[in-house]
Chains A and B, each alone.
Chain A
Amino acid sequence: MSDEKSPFLKYLREDRLPHIFCSGCGIGTIMNGFIQGMEDAEMDFDNIAMVSGIGCSSRIPGYMKCDSLHTTHGRAISFATGLKTSNSDLDVVVFTGDGDAAAIGGNHLIHAARRNINLTVICINNNIYGMTGGQISPTSPHKSYGSTAPYGVDEYPFKLAELVTAAGASYAARWTTLKVDDMVRSIRDALKNPGFSFVEIVSQCPTYYGRKNKLKTPVDMASYFKNNTIFTSELPSYTEKELEGKIVVGEFVNKQKGEFVDNIKNLSKSHYGKDPLIYSAYSEDFD
């Protein structure tokens, strides 16, 4: 039955493997989780377009056998908005990191959530700028160390899933790479959801985050995640002091609202009686 290879390899460009990610990096796990979630959602792999910005996580579309767009730093969601509006039949998936989505592209993220455009954003949060050498990012936890914070970070981190929930997304969830089954289920729901869906996955970065914070091996980081996760259903039994340094995982919002492209179509139909002009530069000549 099985041809003695991993079942995820048939979606990857095998001539480029083994990939560039460090040993124990969580991005490979997220690639597996995305492929499994896509199979569970029964989506067409040829109809998926992947958009990514700059960063370690944005190298994922380069390893997948599908259409992809590798764009400028932080503007992945803007490019994806244009792609989705011009061709609304595509299933657009955005892979971003925390520096890409929260630091330089923060405004694009919250405004895409406010518009509720039908994108699936998978944000790989490794708490640090991994590609450029371990500088602290907006999601670095309080009192963690980095190469630009040798005495510890004094600021408090962004909580991305809560931020996107407050901005008005229709699906937001946070998981860690250890909770693979929940992650797969969440990605499946996010792909099926008609509206802005945001899945934040807290990932391990043993090379930079782990080395500066006394968690040198991938297994150390994995056990740290395992011991410090709290489900959203358990939240009322914790005080604010106990929650410091913990990772709250779970589904934050799952509700339906009016979608951006549908709203444009309805507007065009109510005023002009036809769909907006897509692929139709000379359509009036043939009428």
Chain B
Amino acid sequence: MIKIDEDLCKGCHLCVFICYKNVYMISSTTNKKGVALPYPKYEKECTSCGDCELICPDQAIDVGVEKHWWLKENSNWKFNPNFSKIKQGD
């Protein structure tokens, strides 16, 4: 779930530039500061790579990547079990 903080965003649109799946679009309306905010229009395409979260200079984006998401109960990912020593439930 992608969340963009309206108070922190300054509208540089670097997230729009760096996203390789083109998730973001620029809204036509502005907020109270006069900034055209980006919004995640095609959120289903998002692969949770977290590049927009890292490049956002104003710390406004939260992609919501869960820690150890591959260890969830109903996940279909099949990794080598010795890949991570963290047990489920941590």
Contacts and interface: CB of A to CB of B under 8 A. Distances in A.
A184 interface: yes
Contacts of B54: 29, 32-33, 36, 180-181, 184
Interface in A228-252: none
Interface string A1-29: 11011111100100001110111111111
Contacts of A21: 57
Given A181-B51, A219-B14, A32 B59 contact: yes
Contact of A9 (B14, B59, B64): B59
Contacts of B16: 219
Given A1-B66, A2-B64, A4-B62, A18 B8 contact: yes
A27 B57 contact: yes
Interface in B2-31: 3, 5, 7-8, 10-14, 16-18
A6 B56 contact: yes
A24 B53 CA distance: 14
Nearest to B61: A6
* Interface size band for B: 20 to 34
Contacts of B8: 17-18
B20 to A, nearest CB: 12
Contact of A2 (B51, B60, B62): B62
A177 interface: yes
Nearest to A226: B17
B58 interface: yes
Contact of B10 (A18, A178, A180): A18
A4 B55 contact: no
Nearest to B35: A23
Contacts of B55: 29, 32, 177-178, 180
A218 interface: yes
B87 interface: no
Contacts of B5: 5-6
Nearest to A219: B17
Contact of A18 (B17, B58, B61): B58
Interface of B: 1, 3, 5, 7-8, 10-14, 16-18, 35, 51, 53-62, 64-67
13 contacts: A2-B1, A4-B64, A8-B59, A23-B11, A24-B10, A24-B12, A24-B57, A28-B56, A32-B59, A181-B51, A217-B13, A218-B12, A219-B13
